[in-house]
Structure 1
Amino acid sequence: MAFQPPVTVEHVLKAIHNHEYLLPAIQREFVWNPDQIRRLMDSLMRGYPIGSFLLWKVEAQTGGDYTFYDFLTHYHERDNPYASKATVPAGQPTTAILDGQQRLTSLNVAVYGSHAEKKKYAWWNSPDAFPKKRLFLNLLEDPKDEELGFRYDLRFLTDAEATAKPGDPDGWFRVGAVLELANAGPAMHNELTNRGVINVEGAYQRLYDLHEALRVKQPINHYLETSQNADKVLEIFVRVNSGGTTLSYSDLLLSMATNQWKQLDAREEVRALVTELNTGGTRQFSFSKDLVLKAALMIAGVDLRFRVSNFTQANMDKVESAWPDIQKALIRAASLMHQFGFSERTLTADSVIIPLACYLHRRKVADSYLTSDVDAEDRLEVQRWITRSLVKRGIWGSGLDTTLTRVRDVLDLKGETGFPVDAVETVMATIGKSLAFEETEIDELLTLKYAGQRTFAALSILYPGLDFSKEFHEDHVYPKSRFTTKRLLEAGVPVGQVELYRESYNLLPNLQLLGGIPNMEKRDKLPSDWAETSFPTHAQRESYLLANDLHDVSLQMTSFLEFFEKRKARMRVRLTQALGVPTGADALVATAARVQ
């Protein structure tokens, strides 16, 4: 391994775009966020060291045995989050990046490309949810807020955000445009003059510092490994990636599988499956490649622990052989979770889909399982188990590998004809993952808040008769907008009760699951008014009120506290029964058993 002469950022980026530098399949995906990219560029402009890089010279006779990827230029969180596979001409050597991919990709995105990530609270499938942004330098002033420690005001902006208003100086300079300047003298002076910032204090220095950082200084120090021994190269790769953004087991597994699968491209297969699970049909989930790989290991019967010793050819052969069945099982599991009413906003523990997919695989079910009347009772058992595990604290957190392994053992023995819920819950209890509930837990569930992590699951347990194949929203029975201090007083609520009203309206007893369209129609209406207009007949209205524990109570604003306590009591009874909580003498027996 030899140290190479330092080069400029411009030199490296041009080599990347000439496909002289590629990424080996053992590299992880690009994971840096915009702030990390900005900080890297700020460090370069300040002349700070950015660490050394490790490159691997891959000879022509060796390169044909491996898969390589080009660098990502235009990152889009939904549509283009991954680098594309590179084509290496036969008989041609190449240079692969073993250490420094994140930094080099960040520089490539900052200088030549763009970054588009989902706006907060935006819907994943909205066309405006991922604004395309490029990196700009503020020529007019330095950062006002130095909390992040930036010396230069570098920001990812849309072109519209960076465009100056008529008559104002054009102060946002696209970072990549510095490569288009003929020199740092007259050309830079003309650029600043045309932008109307030539007389702004510090403007020339800021642009000059950018030019120096990318085109003059030589901060790219790198070592070159020339060995063609794949085992040695992998060992080096693991060692040098032990710091920074930690290399996960799934990254390595996916990388190893890419080289070890004989018929399929593991990386492409996993990417495609993740996309299908998350956005296929009307599904909206956020399952990760980590989850897909964990499920693949479980279904293939491979050791689930995150250890490098699992990266064997034998294990990869098992996963590749089972891959078609793994795909089908996971897609059916995702479809079933969607039928149960879950989405990325309501599914708080993605790992629950793994044992579900393993069960569907073990039973060798077809797509008909999702809708057949014959399997309706079994689907209900599965749904109950899933919602119970999501409502119970601590089930899908620590000890996940042990939990999955034990559940897989039970499914292998007893999962051929139906979901063995009792056997599964028994084995989970032996490792501290009991799904038995106590009265104190019921009280805690009644304090769940609107849009809380477990609220949707709790409501689906309370009111299981809904057709979750349709879209349902968490809804306030008494509308949230009615609970401002002003509106409460106007409605006749006594001053002394206003704070209690405001403390209670967002809790479970004032929540229900309502179809998407009815929820939009309901809006600001009080429950009494909405029920009157939405259910034209007395029988329909009474059926709705009874099914949702709203019957025999006043639904006027001044009766909210009375309604809240009555519905809370009814919910306690429902939860106690649905979750099998022992009461009375049974509770005493259960307590004595725990003490013993």
Structure 2
Amino acid sequence: MGFQTPMYMLTDYLDQTRKGIIQLPDFQRGYKWEDERIRQLLITVLRGHPMGVVMLLETGNALVRFKPRAVEGTDVPAGTEPKKLLLDGQQRLTSLTQALSGDGIVGTKDDRGKLLDRRYFVNIAEAIEDPNRMDEAVISVPADGMIKKNFDRDIVLDLSTTEKQQEQGFFPLNELLNPMPWLMPYSFKNQELSMTFHDQIIQPAANYQIPAIELDSDTDKSAVATVFEKVNIGGLPLNVFELLTSVFAGDAAYYERTGEDFRLNDDLQEIRQHWKPYPVLDSIENTDFLQALTMLSTLEKHNASTSSRPPAVSAKREDVLKLELEDYLKWRDPLRDAFVWVAGFLADRHVFRKRDVPYPKQLVPLAAIKVALGKDAELHSVSQRLESWYWAGVIGELYGSASETRFVRDIEQVPAWAADPDQPTPRTINDANFVESRLHSMRTRNSAAYKGLAALIMANDARDWMEDKTFGAVQHKDMAVDIHHIFPQRWCNENGIDDEHRESIVNKTMLSAHTNRVIGGVAPSKYLEKIEAKAGIDSGYLDNLLTGHFVSPEAVRTDDFESFFTQRREALCQLIEAVLQKPVQRDVSQGIAAEDSSHFETEDEPEAEFE
């Protein structure tokens, strides 16, 4: 087994993927990058920043023959034999191949998993005005080139034709490697902009290089399997952690001061021991802690700078690697304690377990915000505003992936606003919206809003139907509280209730394991009688318990699923409106919601037999 480490032009990679010279081994997972990750990758290329190494395997070994398949989005004829197989870098090269060639349409998905077809453009004026604003200059647009709002009634931006793109100054990135046919007509009216854009953006991108590790054709199958496994388990976050561990261990000043190397992994293990009483913090990864610390370090440098262009606040992985050991040691203890505060903050919002945290990544800016606010975070008014920001992120589903940009906005905007409501409202709060039909598609813990709404229901002074206890941290654990169906699965199946309505969060609530066993799979009217008999309570008292869960007693006592569902959906909409302090669009009630036919998985919730 041997290898070499050449540098190849981006144009060479795209040419080879389109011709089938580079293909994938069939055991590679399918392409699955989200829209925002693709946009961030394009920004990386346009800014000339490194996107990492790809790993290739030369073919031609008679003893190692993997079935190849073409990179998705290419038109490679069937039977074309590749010269190289792509072991690592599939998502990146597939994204670049689709976005930068052909019609530029990429088959992707949003943070919620909804399939999308997108194209990518760069605002010429913004891109050349300030390279640091490339994040804002690159936009993602539906495949037809039109951004719409108000349920597609109003067109916000129309880039559906070349003429409209040129008129508004949005360059289509699928023309990046052959820009002149697009730029020539544009330059007649915007010659200076066109030339500057070509020289500062187009030309450097055309010369963009990506390093490769090429394994030779003598590499045996077991070695390929080992390499593939190792490069796909850790990914970028693990690489960042390992590299920073190595950098810190080599810090000469620390060694001179202490007589030993600094061990980052050991230090983070000590922090985890400090967090051991708070199991909700098990969701925090090493790289999450380092990202939060990087934000605090870069924020301090940004605020202390007297330059007209101060250093940017950042949570990006590349800036994590720029951390100095002294920065880490300065912010480590305040941040460690801030995460303990986060655990208490979550407990106050009825989030007690790792699996129930809506967005583990949202805890990164939350901990950094706590450090920035200091003791003021405990003040009632400040805590209330932090709660508004938190639920905006959860219910608005704003932290699904590629959240570094939002992290930075949060640390820059939230502390000032939380301390003084006259300061500008944070972007996360402004961005949060909710529509009624989303309640139909919130069906499992894969949805952050699903977990968030379950916590909000508990926070509404809801009590268990059998044990008549609130869902505090101790009771939640002792009663083995979980999300359960109100109209049981078995009853729904026997009575023709479709999957969409049966599995919706509207038909679920938080109950103890004991209560769920009593419910079993029978009609609500039957299990309510059983609860009254076993718990020794009358129907009026139980009706009050039901109401605490936003459940209509009349509807469940008459087994009227339709009435129950409609009333509870409206009650949950009102709960969300109270949290977001914004109206929820009643698209289902108004008959303008599209039919939800998306595939989904139900949660494993075995129905107990009648006791």
TM-score normalised by L of structure 2: 0.46
TM-score normalised by L of structure 1: 0.47
